Amino acid sequence: MSDLFDLGKQQGNRPLAAALRPESLDDVIGQDAITAEGSTLRRRIAADQLGSIVLYGPPGIGKTSIARAVGNMLSKDFRPLHATRAGVKEIRQLADEARIRPLLIFVDEVHRFSATQADDLLAICEEGTADFIGATTQNPYTALPKALVSRSTILKLEPISINDMVTVVDRGLAHLASTGIQVTLSSDHKHLIAGRSGGDARRALTTLEGLCVGHALDEPVVVTEDMIEDAYMAAPVNHDRSGDQHYDVISAFIKSMRGGAADAVLYWLARLIHGGEDPRFIARRIMIQASEDVGLADNTALQTAVAAAQAVEMIGYPEARIILAHAALHVARAPKSGSANHGISAALSAVTQEAPLPVPLHLRDAHYQGAEALGHVGYRSPHKDPKGWIDQDYAPGVPKGRFYVSEARDAATFEKRADDYWERVTGRPSPKLFD
């Protein structure tokens, strides 16, 4: 009895994802902003003036497929290069070939190109000898040579939505059926594959193909949830701890804490944990936000964050997830004040851009013999006053409220209580951001 190990033979040893590569932009799923009629890419194809294009986005969302589809639509030979293996010699050989026949040069992982490689490639494109498409998972504005960025049109691709991913799965099922492989897959299981693929169409199709391997050809493949769970058990996590995924997810986590969005905080925290981020790194970010965003509104937030950082050093995953969630939720749920962050930033700006203020004589060091003869006198300690405060100038030339401005709202926060206390003691209103 033959089985689905014969699948490769039937498809010419082509993986399912390769067999389903789009022939034109009309076949591309999930990148409507780039492939729609009237888009920049469509207009350039119609005018046969593609030039230099950089496709930017996470793995498996169609960068190579779009490039091949463009080559088909332009009727140009597709010449793929890999940035880590292509030298200047290979690029110049392509330039010679392009003078004989129309070429579309495609460079995967173009962020790995050196400045020299990029210069040679750009010379070919600027002369109009060949068209060029580069693909990168890294932010092109920070990862690519500036000359390449300035001469290219950057097109950002987004992860494929769940509904579009279901369409990808349906297309895979139809192709398998055309080769004689009948797969029974419920709607719920399609959505499960779509969701677990993390916006990566190649991963979804590879999973679907893997579910079929090892079954008899003359029997339909009935996919169960256990089979899907088994297929994804060792699947890689779509999270690059040194790339855009790292920065984008941690940014969403931070902004969700600042915004008090507890559910979003837990979701992005789970993404970081699932992606393998160091718990000490996450704890450090929570500590920073405890002062930057909560600050004087609730001083205990920093205490919780510091305690969490110390705890994860001793515990680690998996239990560290609970401690991180505890600290992150404290920061998210606490009232907010950015006065410490804004105040020190304004003060540092003054220190770096203005002439330094002399230390007033009454505040200068007076602990040594001879200090009085130098005029280091006149300081009065607030502890000697019944109110615990004495009116004296601590920074001549710095008006009250220049750096520290209270961000207390109408709530029983530390900063609000402090405002009320000092207004009673001094008889003066505290500078406030919100009046």
pLDDT tens per residue, range 163-200 = 888 999 999 999 988 888 888 888 888 888 888 777 78
Contacting residues for 363 by C-beta, under 8 A, at least 6 apart: 379, 394
Burial of residue 307, with CB atoms counted within 10 A of its CB: 0-12 exposed, 13-18 middle, 19 or more buried: middle
Rounded to whole angstroms, the Cα distance separating 430 from 421 reads: 10
pLDDT tens per residue, range 74-102 = 988 888 887 777 777 787 788 788 888 88
Rounded to whole angstroms, the Cα distance separating 419 from 297 reads: 11
pLDDT tens per residue, range 126-160 = 777 788 899 988 888 888 888 788 888 999 988 88
| For residue 235, pLDDT beyond 60 | no
Half-sphere exposure for 118 (CA within 13 Å, toward CB): 20
CB 48 within 8 A of CB 10: no
**Confidence bin at 234 (pLDDT 50/70/90):** low
End-to-end CA gap in the chain: 82
Rounded to whole angstroms, the Cα distance separating 417 from 173 reads: 65
At 9 the pLDDT is 45
CA distances from 66 to 41, 71, 210, 251, 375 (A): 10, 9, 25, 29, 77
CB 133 within 8 A of CB 53: yes
Using only the alpha carbons of the chain, give its radius of gyration. 31
Residue 190: closest CA among 175, 169, 206, 171:
169
At 10 the pLDDT is 47
| For residue 113, pLDDT beyond 90 | no
pLDDT tens per residue, range 236-287 = 555 555 556 778 889 999 999 999 999 999 999 998 988 778 899 999 999 9
Please name the helix (run of DSSP H) or strand (run of DSSP E) that holds residue 133, with its range, or none.
strand 131-136
Rounded to whole angstroms, the Cα distance separating 185 from 63 reads: 28
Tokens of 272: 């970081």
Q: Which of 207-211, 299-303, 315-319 is modeled with the greatest confidence?
A: 299-303
Tokens of 379: 């300081």
At 3 the pLDDT is 46
pLDDT tens per residue, range 303-355 = 999 999 999 989 888 899 999 999 999 999 999 999 999 999 999 999 999 98
At 70 the pLDDT is 92
Helix (H, G, I), strand (E, B) or coil at 225: helix
At 139 the pLDDT is 85
Burial of residue 249, with CB atoms counted within 10 A of its CB: 0-12 exposed, 13-18 middle, 19 or more buried: buried
- In the chain, the amino acid numbered 426 is T
Contacting residues for 310 by C-beta, under 8 A, at least 6 apart: none
At 331 the pLDDT is 95
- Mean per-residue pLDDT for 215-223? 76
**Confidence bin at 110 (pLDDT 50/70/90):** confident
CA distances from 145 to 135, 152, 157 (A): 14, 11, 20
- Higher-pLDDT residue of 375 and 82 is 375
CB 175 within 8 A of CB 139: no
pLDDT tens per residue, range 25-48 = 998 888 888 888 989 999 999 998
Task: Give me the DSSP letters along 162-205.
Answer: HHHHHHHHHHHHHHHHHTT--EE--HHHHHHHHHHTTT-HHHHH
| For residue 290, pLDDT beyond 90 | yes
Rounded to whole angstroms, the Cα distance separating 59 from 237 reads: 11
Residue 21: closest CA among 82, 85, 64:
64
Half-sphere exposure for 130 (CA within 13 Å, toward CB): 30
Query: What global pTM score does this model have?
Result: 0.65
| For residue 4, pLDDT beyond 50 | no
At 239 the pLDDT is 53
Rounded to whole angstroms, the Cα distance separating 153 from 295 reads: 43
